[in-house]
Amino acid sequence: MTVYLDNMATTPVDRRVLDAMLPYFCDRFGNAASKTHSFGNDAAMAVERAREQVAALLAAQPREIIFTAGATESNNLALKGVAEYVGHGHIITCKTEHKAVLDVCHSLEERGFSLTYLDVDRDGCIDINALDEAIRDDTILVSLMAANNEVGTVHPLAQIGALCKRRGVLWHCDAAQAVGKVPLDVRALGIDLLSLSAHKLYGPKGEGALYVRSRAPRVRLKAQLEGGGQERGLRAGTLNVPAIVGVGEACRLAQLELAEEGVKLLDLRCKLYERFCSELTGVELNGHESERLPGNLSVCFSAVDGAELLVRLGDIAISSGSACSSDSPVPSPVLAAMGRSAEQARSTLRFGLGRFTTESEIDYVAGRVIEEVLRLRGDGSTFCERQLTPSGESVAI
């Protein structure tokens, strides 16, 4: 038996999404910019329908959705677009952001922009008061993610939005891990720019979008790709119509199934963690106990080498952290920022449950992990000092 539990890295394309995409490869193959014939108009209509579907999931307006090649490009367009349009100033981000944000911030810092990198607590949460204190008269942008890709912690989004609005600062939110998994209303939350990636919500790889607020305030960006005038002049290049149809359908399905899917994933995640805690010692949860993505479980198994455990669990697709940094010999910067030791970071595994995860798969994974952890430790201890409450919170016993 093989089990896929690395849905934080990528999700399989939902068959319904694939079915929606297929006609636009061969039968309805027009260029959306070719408005002089039916082939092009058909493609253009498909793009606009997808724009409406993405906007509906975010409670945005269709004209506020710009299609990109994924969250990495969206992050680049958001951060560099704002910075270059203004020309100078101060940007605030967090030490646990994804590399697609941090690397852009480092680049802007080298170009003369001032950067502040906020700390987090042991649960991976920022301090709202620290954010308030960090905002300066020349602050032009705050870039804080919705949910962490490694440990699943969800930031206090409403508080961030309210603070940024009160202080008159734009907020960019990398929501690649959160879109389609937790409710996101960009108006209610006060988000000015939001990045998403299709392959994190059962759509195709290589496609994403950037939400850009059009009023109160209207956000202005400097384009990073020029040459064709597509996407309101903010992202030149022939539109990938099949992939855009795919991200639209993925967002439509997510809007329909988000609540039910969230309950299912929370139940399965709690069951998996409860098995670990009931049959193993030295099990520690990484990330906030309750304010976290329903399908994310990051666990430290003390006295175990995570790399060796991964090798022994070759029949299970899991990771030691972010897919974008899992091949690095350096311990996770996210776990380090949360105060975990290098040893704890090396003992951590990330389980990413998804839409197609079954209860029987969770039973199998729990058994296999427990079996291999006990073998690596060379003992048969099964007592744990923590357990889950029915709500999913971890409490000492």
Nearest to 161 by CA among 200, 116, 111, 216: 216
Pair 7, 264: CB distance under 8 Å = no
In sequence order, which ranges of the chain are alpha helices (DSSP H)? 15-21, 23-26, 38-58, 71-86, 99-110, 128-134, 157-167, 186-189, 241-279, 306-312, 333-337, 342-346, 359-377
Q: CB of 138 within 8 A of CB of 113? A: no
Question: DSSP code of 284?
Answer: E
Say if residue 110 is exposed, middle or buried (CB neighbours under 10 Å; 0-12, 13-18, 19+): exposed
Quote the CA–CA distance of 117 and 102 in Å, as a whole number. 9
Distance CA 266, CA 112 (A): 44
Reduced to 3 states, what is the DSSP secondary structure of residue 158? helix
What is the C-alpha to C-alpha distance for residues 280 and 297, in angstroms, rounded to an integer? 16
Which positions are catalytic? 324
Place of tokens 């907020």: 171
Strand partners, 173: 194
- Which residue in the block uniquely carries the two structure tokens 């409406």? 52
Report the chain's C-alpha Rg in angstroms.
22
Phi, psi (degrees; rounded to nearest 5) at 180: 85, -5
Distances in whole angstroms, Cα of residue 129 to Cα of each of 68, 135, 136, 160, 328: 34, 10, 13, 10, 33
Provide the 10 A C-beta neighbour count for residue 291: 16
Nearest to 279 by CA among 381, 390, 362: 381
Q: What is the DSSP string of 28-84?
A: S---TT-TTSHHHHHHHHHHHHHHHHHHHHHT--GGGEEEESSHHHHHHHHHHHHHH
Q: Could you tell me the CA-to-CA distances from 327 to 1, 321, 322, 331, 347 in Å, in that order?
A: 25, 10, 9, 10, 15
